[in-house]
């Protein structure tokens, strides 16, 4: 007898944001039905408009700190909702703490009610300004809880603890990813993160503003690689936390120089003050992702930057109008 397999159903919070929208698209491509919950505080419906033609996709405007209700069966709950760039979470400090705490509680409740696998989008910022380099998952971090960035870092650390409590106490099938800096098309040009800022400045031939002396390092991952890591972890039975990011590390000055060169720009670099508690180094140890998920980044830095610059160039008029 033929057994009809029901289509799996995923709820993605923050699905109208940068990473969330790329994830929704990928899950639709994997044959899942996707329900996206977003309050559009830092994302927008435009990021997911094209998805309705891609598969069974529903966008619901909802603040997950109020309550979370989704009718019908749910197989996966992916909690991506949170302001994520320093400019955003410094402007929205209480909202950021709420979505990492109450939002995590509510979405864990949904996963428990539905018997779904729960996926927490955590961050390398849980490592703070690290004293161990590169950072393995076993490192507990070096975070200033009362500094301005504490609202984001501690919200995510709380979210991780709550996720583990639901796993241990309520037997919910949970996993935690620690995402390192990711970039790609559809990033907001004015979200204050280095790559979109540098690209926009370079495309306009304006000075490229590097914080401090530019010797602080970052390891940046192209969005397609990151989403591949997300789905591998989602469809695994690992509990995590698992680092996903590109271990290729470079200084901010070198990153600015690459962007200027790839954009074919004549911009010069100027130096601006460095934000408080800005991490000095950042590099993921991805041994666990490599061995347990068979994952590693494939897109070389220059390719990822070129694809992102091309997208920004193609959308520059709209981007400038949005930035004002
Ligand atoms: P983003 O700002 O583009 O997306 C976040 C989305 O969450 C937005 O659409 C926003 O409107 C929504 N949101 C925020 N608060 C909400 C609430 N209370 N209810 C419903 N929706 C809400 O940011 P992003 O870069 O796509 O980041 C997505 C997730 O990945 C975040 O949890 C972030 O902490 C994590 N992360 C991202 C990076 C990165 O490099 N992009 C690195 C580490 C971790």
CA distance 105 to 270: 43
Instruction: Provide the pLDDT for residue 1.
Output: 44
Question: Which H helix or E strand runs over 311?
Answer: helix 301-314
Report the phi/psi class of residue 74: left, alpha or beta, with left for phi > 0 and alpha for psi in -120 to 50.
beta
CA distances in angstroms from 298 to 67, 194, 234, 249, listed in the order given: 39, 22, 19, 15
Q: How many other CB atoms sit within 10 Å of the CB of residue 51? A: 21
Q: Which residues of the chain have pLDDT under 50?
A: 1-3
Q: What is the assigned CATH class of domain 9-184+222-247+281-298?
A: alpha beta
> Of 276, 196, 283, 216, which is closest to residue 247 (Cα–Cα)?
283
Task: Render pLDDT for 84-136 as a digit per residue (tens, 0 to 9).
Answer: 998 899 999 999 999 999 999 999 999 999 999 999 999 999 999 889 999 99
Ligand 1 atom with the shortest distance to the CA of 122:
44
Ligand 1 atom with the shortest distance to the CA of 79:
32
Residues labelled as active-site residues: 152
Instruction: Provide the pLDDT for residue 308.
Output: 97
- Which of the listed residues 16, 17, 39 should we mutate to test ligand 1's pocket, taking the one with most ligand atoms within 8 A of CB? 17
Q: What is the pTM of this model?
A: 0.95
Mean pLDDT, the chain, integer = 94
Domain boundaries, the chain: 9-184+222-247+281-298
């Amino acid at each position: 007898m033929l057994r009809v397999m029901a289509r799996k159903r995923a709820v993605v919070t923050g699905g109208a944001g940068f990473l969330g929208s790329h994830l929704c698209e990928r899950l639709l491509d994997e044959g899942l039905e996707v329900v996206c919950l977003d309050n559009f505080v830092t994302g927008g419906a435009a990021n997911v408009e094209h998805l309705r033609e891609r598969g069974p996709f529903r966008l619901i405007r909802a603040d997950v700190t109020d309550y979370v209700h989704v009718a019908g069966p749910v197989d996966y709950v992916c909690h991506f909702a949170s302001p994520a760039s320093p400019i955003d979470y410094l402007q929205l400090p209480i909202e950021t703490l709420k979505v990492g705490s109450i939002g995590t509680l509510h979405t864990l409740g949904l996963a428990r009610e539905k018997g779904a696998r729960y996926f927490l989008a955590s961050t390398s910022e849980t490592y703070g300004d690290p004293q161990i380099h590169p950072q393995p998952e076993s490192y507990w971090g070096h975070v200033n809880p009362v500094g301005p960035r504490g609202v984001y870092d501690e919200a995510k650390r709380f979210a991780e603890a709550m996720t583990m409590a639901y796993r241990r106490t309520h037997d919910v099938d949970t996993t935690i990813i620690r995402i390192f800096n990711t970039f790609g098309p559809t990033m907001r040009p004015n979200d204050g993160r280095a790559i979109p800022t540098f690209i926009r400045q370079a495309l306009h031939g304006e000075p490229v503003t590097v914080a401090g002396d530019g010797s602080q390092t970052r390891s940046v991952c192209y969005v397609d690689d990151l989403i591949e890591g997300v789905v591998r972890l989602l469809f695994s039975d690992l509990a995590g936390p698992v680092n996903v990011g590109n271990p290729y590390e470079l200084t901010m000055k070198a990153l600015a120089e690459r962007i200027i060169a790839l954009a074919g720009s004549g911009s010069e670099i100027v130096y601006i003050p460095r934000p408080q508690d800005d991490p000095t180094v950042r590099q993921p140890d991805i041994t666990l992702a490599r061995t347990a998920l068979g994952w590693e980044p494939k897109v070389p830095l220059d390719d990822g930057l070129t694809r992102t610059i091309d997208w920004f160039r193609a959308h520059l008029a709209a981007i400038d109008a949005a930035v004002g």
